[in-house]
């Protein structure tokens, strides 16, 4: 049955929301405060990865607005909520929604920064960016883009967030207009969309927007970029991309951010997280290889014993014992790395202390 809002006009104001861990409850609280006749479209990116999602169904029971997955090429309507589908970045371009299976950003697809960045570039002052509960710091750079374009920024109070890292990062590095508890965010959004675009909004800052425009084009085209283009906005580092092994360029942002020429993009936190994964995977590969080597030595021990060569069997047994010791050392190393990583996270993220 058609929803009454299906005949709504094309949206001229936009609310873009990003969330991750704890996001379902937070989104339900916010959308429950939005009226059916909201004079804006709401676009949501939540870190849902590849898995099948029923997020629209889970939200539509808490709001009078229709909630659907975004459709590529469709123009957003007022009074509608659009959700980024699994494994696709949701972008805005030339007045329409675009779905792109480009390179992951912050090790996520869909990611929040691409949506916020595209909204900032496409809509300028007509966008309101909202960061809710979530781990790490996706959305921080996107809020910077929205602010540079003259938009308004809203962040959930980290003190009450289920996962405070994302909103805390936004408060630390982005110029945030409103930091509010969940119970007040929806009401704030209703008030903001009722104001003219220009009300209380600073003028866009073209020099700050230019790097975001380049990154938007990169994402829109699927992620790949020439080294020459990348070097215009960043400096080559001595780090490599954990996902493709390519070189990483450090982009001129705070917090520091890195991008490879195939399109993968990381903040310091997400890069450190992926380096942890790469290190642990390498250690488990080493352990597996040692187990296989030990299995081969055990066969050689048995063969030497069958052929009545006790001295040779003893040498193979000794070599096997040394391999067992190496495995134990690597297992201890994995455990100690986990402890060091936890300490690093507590030091680098004050919200988690």
Residue of 20, 169, 201, 265 with catalytic role: 20
DSSP state of 74: P
Provide the H-helix boundaries in 69-135.
112-123
Distance, CA of 293 to CA of 285 (rounded, Å): 12
Query: Which tokens go with 321?
Result: 């014992």
Distance, CA of 117 to CA of 106 (rounded, Å): 14
Distance, CA of 67 to CA of 70 (rounded, Å): 9
Find, among 208, 206, 140, 202, the residue nearest to 174 by Cα: 140
E strands within the chain?
A: 14-19, 41-46, 67-69, 81-83, 89-93, 96-100, 127-131, 152-156, 178-180, 234-240, 247-251, 257-260, 265-267
Is 233 catalytic? The answer is: no
Cβ atoms of residues 42 and 34 within 8 Å: yes
Is 20 catalytic? The answer is: yes
Distance, CA of 16 to CA of 43 (rounded, Å): 5
- Listing DSSP states for 136-184 in one string gives TTTTHHHHHHHHHTT-EEEEE-GGG-SS-HHHHHHHHHS--SEEE-HHH
Cβ atoms of residues 90 and 84 within 8 Å: yes
Placement of tokens 């903001």 in the chain = 192
The count of other CB atoms within 10 Å of the CB of residue 21 is 19
Q: Which residues of 63-79 are buried (b: 16+ CB within 10 A; e: fewer)?
A: bbbbbeebeeeeebbbb
Is 175 catalytic? The answer is: no
Residue of 113, 137, 138, 349 with catalytic role: 138
Residues listed for the chain? 353
Which residues are known to be catalytic?
20, 47, 138
């Amino acid at each position: 049955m058609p929803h009454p809002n299906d005949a709504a006009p094309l949206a001229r104001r936009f609310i873009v929301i990003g969330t991750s861990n704890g996001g379902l409850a937070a989104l339900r609280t916010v959308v429950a405060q939005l009226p059916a006749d909201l004079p804006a479209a709401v676009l949501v990116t939540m870190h849902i990865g590849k898995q099948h999602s029923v997020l629209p169904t889970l939200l539509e029971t808490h709001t009078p607005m229709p909630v659907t997955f975004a459709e590529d090429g469709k123009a957003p309507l007022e009074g509608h909520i659009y959700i980024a589908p699994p494994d696709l970045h949701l972008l805005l371009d030339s007045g329409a929604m675009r779905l792109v299976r480009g390179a992951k950003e912050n090790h996520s697809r869909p990611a929040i920064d691409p949506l916020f960045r595209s909204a900032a570039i496409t809509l300028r002052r007509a966008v309101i960016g909202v960061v809710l509960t979530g781990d790490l710091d996706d959305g921080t750079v996107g809020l910077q883009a929205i602010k540079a374009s003259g938009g308004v920024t809203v962040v959930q109070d980290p003190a009450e967030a289920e996962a405070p890292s994302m909103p805390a990062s936004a408060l630390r590095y982005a110029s945030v207009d409103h930091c509010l508890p969940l119970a007040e965010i929806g009401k704030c959004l209703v008030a903001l969309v009722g104001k003219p675009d220009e009300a209380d909004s600073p003028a866009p800052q073209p020099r700050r927007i230019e790097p975001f425009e380049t990154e938007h084009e990169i994402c829109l085209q699927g992620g790949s970029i020439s080294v020459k283009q990348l070097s215009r906005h960043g400096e080559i580092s001595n780090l490599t991309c954990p996902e493709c092994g390519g070189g990483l360029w450090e982009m001129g942002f705070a917090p520091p951010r890195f991008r490879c020429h195939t399109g993968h993009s990381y903040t310091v936190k997400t890069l450190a997280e992926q380096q942890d994964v790469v290190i642990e995977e390498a250690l488990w590969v080493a352990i597996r290889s040692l187990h296989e080597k030990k299995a081969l030595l055990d066969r050689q021990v048995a063969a030497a014993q069958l052929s009545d060569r006790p001295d040779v069997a003893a040498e193979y047994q000794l070599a096997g014992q040394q391999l067992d010791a190496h495995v134990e050392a690597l297992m201890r190393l994995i455990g100690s790395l986990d402890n060091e990583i936890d300490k690093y996270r507590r030091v680098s993220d004050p919200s988690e202390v």
